[in-house]
Structure formats: structure tokens, C-alpha cells
Structure 1
Amino acid sequence: MLRYLNQCSRGRGAWLLLALTALAFELTALFFQHIMGLKPCVMCIYERCALFGVMGAGIVGAFAPKSLPLRWASILIWLYSAYKGLMLSIEHTNIQLHPNPFVTCDFAARFPTWLPLDKWLPSVFVASGDCAERSWTFLTWSMPQWMIVIFAAYLLVGALVLIAQPFKPKRRDLFSR
């Protein structure tokens, strides 16, 4: 399996699949926000940024998957984004499941001055909801709980791809067994 994952990481298809799954989740979040009228909170916006990191890793990896430095950079971006997204989702879930008047999220997302995403693209990055509010559930789980599953899956697959890198990929010759 590790040889197969190494082989997949050397092709564009797997990286594009990674980027497309993250894009699908981003489009779903925008659907919830603009069509269903759910207001994203600050934690939702940060989780959205982590998804953009996973999508960016897929795009960078698709540029030159056979290039070792770019592949390693993509894997590291992928793992970092998935880890941060997982930690944010866990914190967001704790805020929802264990409300505490002393533990709240910020009123507005804090972006660096050199990257004011909330100013550049306010329809995507401006937070207007409350982190403690459970406005949507599916199978009794709220959105941050589902994001824990999604980011954990990204992190698990990313870790397996990282572990698979030292293994030589399978050769697919006509006469090899």
C-alpha cells in the first residue's frame, strides 16, 4: 500500500483529487452561507482557511508531482493545514458542546495586515455568526463535528503519503511480477 501511495503522489491525479475535495467542501460552505442563510462564525472562517491550505497543497502538488522539493512542500502544507483545521474544529466543537461565558470566539477574524482576506473577499471571509450556536446538524452532529472527521481523514491520508515517500514506487512493466 505504501508503494502505491508513493506512486500516486508522483502523479497529478491524486493531487488534483485532493484539491477538488477541498474545493467541494469550500463550495458546500458557501452554499450553506449564501443559499441556506447560515452565518459563519470566526472559527468557521478559520476552518475555511485551513481548507484553502489543503486545496493549495493539492494545487502546488499538481504543478510538478515528480519534483521532490515541490512534492515534499505540498505534503508539508497539506499536513500543517489538516492539523490546524483539526485543532480548530476540536476547539469549535468544545465551544458548542460546553458553553462557557468566559470562553468565546472573537467578534471578527484576525488576518495579518499583509493578507487582509476579510477586506479583499468579504463574501467569503467575514464572520457574522456566533461560535456557540448550533445552526445546522446532520445525523445529530454539528458542522464542526463533521469538520473534525474531514480534517482527521485529510491528516491520516497525508501522514500515510508522508510515510510512503521513502518507499520506491511500483514499477509497472509488462514482464515484471
Structure 2
Amino acid sequence: MQIKRWVAQASMRQWCLLGLLMSCFMMAVALYLQYGVGLEPCPLCIFQRVAVISAGVVFLIGAIHNPGKSGGLVYALLALIAVLTGIGVAGRHVWLQTLPPDSVPSCGPGLDYMMDMLPLWDVMARVLHGSGECAAVEGALWGVTLPQWTLLGFVVMATIPVMMLVSRLRYSGRTVREPAGQAS
């Protein structure tokens, strides 16, 4: 009952701070794995980081702005777009890792080289097509690969803008019902 009450009463700032916290946690794990453990991110990993950072920026601006209903809907939709993009990229990464070895795309040039030499749309198409380095399973925790953990993180993060939308649409214009016998 307390969770339902919090969902109904949470301000956009609280929702955005929760989303920002989740984004910061995901980036902290990614940076620890890169600099602490030494795992180099593949191009799809970098695109997933862009999605996390994009959602985090939307949540940060939303927390600072603390908008009303219509502004909150805009921030929720923008955050949801960023998170759904991350889900798509992470899902593609998981799919690439499940391919049989003979079906894995060949390794292409590095992301830095492609960004220097190709138009942005071509870079995005090539990265999303995947490469051999994206299909390599470099680490797992409890039998779950890093892209699977990232996909799970994005799914959990997606609940935040969804709940922002639900709370604004469902509870707009009314307050949580007071216990019987008490006046407002």
C-alpha cells in the first residue's frame, strides 16, 4: 500500500532523481569494467553507453526543471525513447552473442576509424549490423553475459519513465484517497 501511495504522490523530480541514480549506477559499472577490470567496450557497448547517458541527461534536466504534468509527460517520453533505444541495442548485442560461430559477422574497422571516415548513418548501420568483437562473450556473472545484464538494466530503467507516465496520467488532477472519516 505504501508503494502505491508513493507512486501516486511522487513528484517528477523524485522520479527523475530515481532514473538519474539508475543511469549513474549503470555508467559506474561500465566504467569500472573498462578501467578497473580492463574490458574494452565494443561498438555496441559504446552505443549502449550513449543510450544510458542520454536517459541520464533527460532525467537530470527533468530533476532540475521539476516540471508540471505536461512537461513531465515530455520528459517521461524522452527518457522512454532513450531507454527503448538502449533496449534495442542491448537486445541486438544479446542476439549477436547467441549466433553460431559461422553466422557471426566478420570484424570490421574500429568505431573511431568509422567515425572519422564514414557518414554518421553509415556508422550506425555498420555498428548495429554487428561485428565479431560484439559477438565475443568476454565475461559473465552468475552465467549471465554483460549484454544480458545491460538489457536487464535497461528493462528495469524503462519502468521509471513508464511509471512517470502512469502516475501523471492516472493521478492527474486528484489526490490519493484519504482514509474514511477524515476531511481533506
* TM-score class, shorter: 0.7 to 0.9
Residue 141 in structure 1 maps to residue 162 in structure 2: no
Residue 160 in structure 1 maps to residue 147 in structure 2: no
* Larger displacement relative to structure 2 (64-73 or 135-144): 64-73
- AA of the residue aligned to 2:65: A
Over the aligned positions, Cα root-mean-square deviation in angstroms equals 3.0
- AA of the residue aligned to 1:151: F
Q: CA deviation at 1:76?
A: 1.2
8 Å Cα contact 1:6-1:161 kept in structure 2 = no
**Structure 2 partner of 1:170:** 175
**Structure 1 partner of 2:7:** 5
In structure 2, do the counterparts of structure 1 residues 21 and 106 end up closer, same or farther at CA, with 3 Å as the change threshold? farther
Query: Where do 1:24-103 residues align within 5 Å?
Result: 24-98=25-99, 99=101, 100-102=103-105
- AA of the residue aligned to 1:63: I
8 Å Cα contact 2:104-2:135 kept in structure 1 = no
**Structure 2 partner of 1:121:** none
Distance in 2, matches of 1:131 and 1:105, equals 10
Distance in 2, matches of 1:103 and 1:74, equals 39
Equivalenced residues, count: 161
Distance in 1, matches of 2:70 and 2:92, equals 33
Distance in 2, matches of 1:111 and 1:17, equals 33
TM-score (structure 1 length as normaliser)? 0.76
Query: What are structure 1's unaligned runs of at least 5 residues?
Result: 117-128
Q: Which has the higher helix share?
A: 2
Distance in 1, matches of 2:109 and 2:157, equals 27
8 Å Cα contact 1:95-1:131 kept in structure 2 = yes
**Structure 2 partner of 1:132:** 135
